[in-house]
Structure 1
Amino acid sequence: MRLSTLTLAATLVASGAFAAEPVAPADVVYTDGAIEASLSGTPGNPEEGAKAFASRSIGNCVACHEVTGLGAAFPGNVGPMLDGVGSRWSEAELRGIVANAKLMYEGTVMPSFYKVDGFIRPGNGYTGKAAETIEPILSAQQIEDVVAFLMTLKDE
């Protein structure tokens, strides 16, 4: 019986049935602005990342950035063009930039997509009342998906 229990446990671990818990925003470890470890413990999906990047209701990255061929209507020009970004920065650096660009680029206007504290008087959506809790703009998996998408944008 013990051997079959160990075999079952090994099979579940190998198949990913024991998925890692996402790293909480307050527990993220930054090294010079970069995040080495995955925030979700699950590889990012570039297709989902492209959707979050282009969606005005999820990441809204297109409000500031342009990617050639993405087909986003009214791409922004506040932030840099992101063509070739996967060749310029490592996965860890891109993860850090998306999670909290202010740790890598002081004074940037890019929002911190995976931050929940350190804000001054955060409000509760047009109610005039203070927010008791703040959720990150993107989930840990959405960060991984956007990073996976950005890693596909390589120089040719």
Structure 2
Amino acid sequence: MACLALTGLLHAASPGAGEETTSYAVIGDAIMEPLVGNKGDPARGAALIADRQRSLCTLCHSGPFPDAHLHGTLAPDLTGVGTRLSEGQIRLRVVDMKRLVPGTIMPSYYRITEEEGRRVAAAWRGKTILTGADIEDIVAYLTTLKG
């Protein structure tokens, strides 16, 4: 049931801006290099995480984000995630958690939606959920969550 709700919300969110995905290397359980040339902006990452229509993070996760009464409990609390995981580990989890946990309901935010073998709304075909820059912003913010 949660998976169906998440799928519906993904269709309501706005897709990545038609950005081409860049290749990345997975080493162990991490993507060590940024997806785009620059490190992300933690302030933009915080805003993205709080945006339930765009990133959907707080649909399943709780943490030190605004509107705590709207946080989900399906996924781990992200408080202190920057202490528990490295930047590269966080990046892989946002890019494609399914590489680590195939049955997860967490979407692959940086994978072309058609690759999943499902019917995809026209607005999403050939696009990622978030851009590489969006993901780097989220990674930059999550790495600051040390406490």
Separation of aligned partners in 2, 1:132 and 1:66? 27
What 5-or-longer segments of structure 1 have no aligned partner? Answer: 1-22, 126-130
Identical residues among aligned pairs (%): 35
Q: Note the C-alpha offset of 1:24.
A: 4.6
Q: Is the Cα contact below 8 Å between 1:26 and 1:115 reproduced in 2?
A: no
Separation of aligned partners in 2, 1:118 and 1:30? 18
Q: Note the C-alpha offset of 1:108.
A: 1.3
- Give the number of the structure with larger relative contact order, counting CA–CA contacts within 8 Å between residues 6 or more apart: 2
Instruction: Report the equivalent of 1:124.
Output: 121
- Alignment size in residue pairs: 127
Q: Does 1:152 align with 2:147?
A: no
SS at match of 2:95: helix
Structure number, greater radius of gyration: 1
Aligned pairs for 1:94-113 (under 5 A) are 94-113=90-109
Separation of aligned partners in 1, 2:86 and 2:124? 35
Cα 1:78–1:42 shift into 2, 3 Å: same
Aligned pairs for 1:4-153 (under 5 A) are 24-25=20-21, 27-68=23-64, 70-72=65-67, 73-116=69-112, 117-124=114-121, 133-153=125-145
Instruction: Report the equivalent of 2:6.
Output: none
Q: What do residues 10-60 of structure 1 show as CA deviations (whole Å, max 9, x unaligned)?
A: xxxxxxxxxxxxx95362221223111110111111110011111022111
Separation of aligned partners in 2, 1:74 and 1:29? 35
What 5-or-longer segments of structure 2 have no aligned partner? Answer: 1-18
Q: Give TM-score, length-normalised by structure 1.
A: 0.74
Separation of aligned partners in 2, 1:109 and 1:32? 21
